[in-house]
Structures are given as structure tokens and as C-alpha cells.
Amino acid sequence: MLWKNLQAGAIATATQGLFEQEQTRYGEPVLVTPRLGQGAFRVTITELYRRQCALTGGKVLPALDAAHIRPYTEGGTHTKSNGILLRKDIHSVFDAGYATIDSNYRFVVSDKVKDVFDNGNEYRRLHGALLRVPDNPSERPHRLVLQWHNDYRYLG
């Protein structure tokens, strides 16, 4: 219903000629405090996972994110053991708590993704999938960090 209302409003606005007028396109500049080390973290995690999603194996680089398991803003670090390369949409679902990774490196999807959004089949089909992790155990997601995500972020 909301989408139909927005479309109707856009059509009405366009027919009134408002799109022909010059409009302001940007707001005032805003100072952003960069997270130091973020760029290096992204490169490190991307290379560590051989430029492919740890869950799906997807290799389209613009569609991949170096995800923090414990967010940097919540005390997480820019370390290999706190990172994983995920497809952007999976990263978003993970960050929002609708999915997590268990201590055996299996992807776990909450039933809430279906309950809240009346959907989630794309993620539910990945439920239980084993992640591709680095061969070196010290470079794999740390089990304590995974436990933090399960305890404080996952909406299970």
C-alpha cells in the first residue's frame, strides 16, 4: 500500500512539471570520523577468503563485504579472527541479528527472518551451510567472537 501511494505521488508530481525545475541535490557537508584501519581490514579479509563469499562462494567483488563479527563500534577489532567475507545482503542480515555463525562454522538463520518479514527463503536455504574458513586455525573466526555474536546480536 505504501509503495502504491509513493508511486501515485511521484506520478502526480511529475505531471505537475516539478521535475523540470532545478532542485537542490545535496545537503550541507558533514564531518565523518573515519575508522582507522578499516581499509586495511577490508583488503586483509578479502584476500584471506580468496575474494569469495565464505558462505556462497560468490566472487563478484563489488557484492562482497569484509564483515566484522563483533562490530568495531562495539569493541570489535580489525583482526583476521574477527572478520569474514560475506555477500553484502548476507552481511546486512548477519549484522541485524537475523543470522549468526555457530562454533562449528555453520550459518544459522533465525526463524524471525520469516516471522518479521514474511519471507527469508534466500537465507533459510543457507541455514546449516558450512562456511569456507581459512586453512590456518589462527586466521579463522575466533570462537569467543562468534559466541559474542550469538549472545549479543543474534535474535534466535
Q: Measure the CA–CA gap between 63 and 51, rounded to whole angstroms.
A: 11
- H helix or E strand, kind and range, residue 123: helix 121-124
Predicted local confidence at residue 149, as pLDDT: 98
Exposure string over 40-66, b if 16+ CB within 10 A, otherwise e: ebbebbbebbeebbbbbebeeeeebbb
Q: How many helices (H) and strands (E) does the chain have?
A: 6, 4
pLDDT at site 43: 96
Please calculate the CA angle 35-82-152 and round it to the nearest 5 degrees: 95
For 110-151, the pLDDT digits (tens) are 999 999 998 889 999 999 999 999 999 999 999 999 999 999
Q: What's residue 22's pLDDT?
A: 75
Write down the pLDDT at residue 33. Answer: 77
Q: Taking the model in full, what pTM does it have?
A: 0.81
- Cell numbers 509503495 correspond to what residue? 3
Q: pLDDT tens for residues 12-68? A: 555 555 556 677 888 998 888 777 788 899 999 999 999 999 999 999 999 999 999
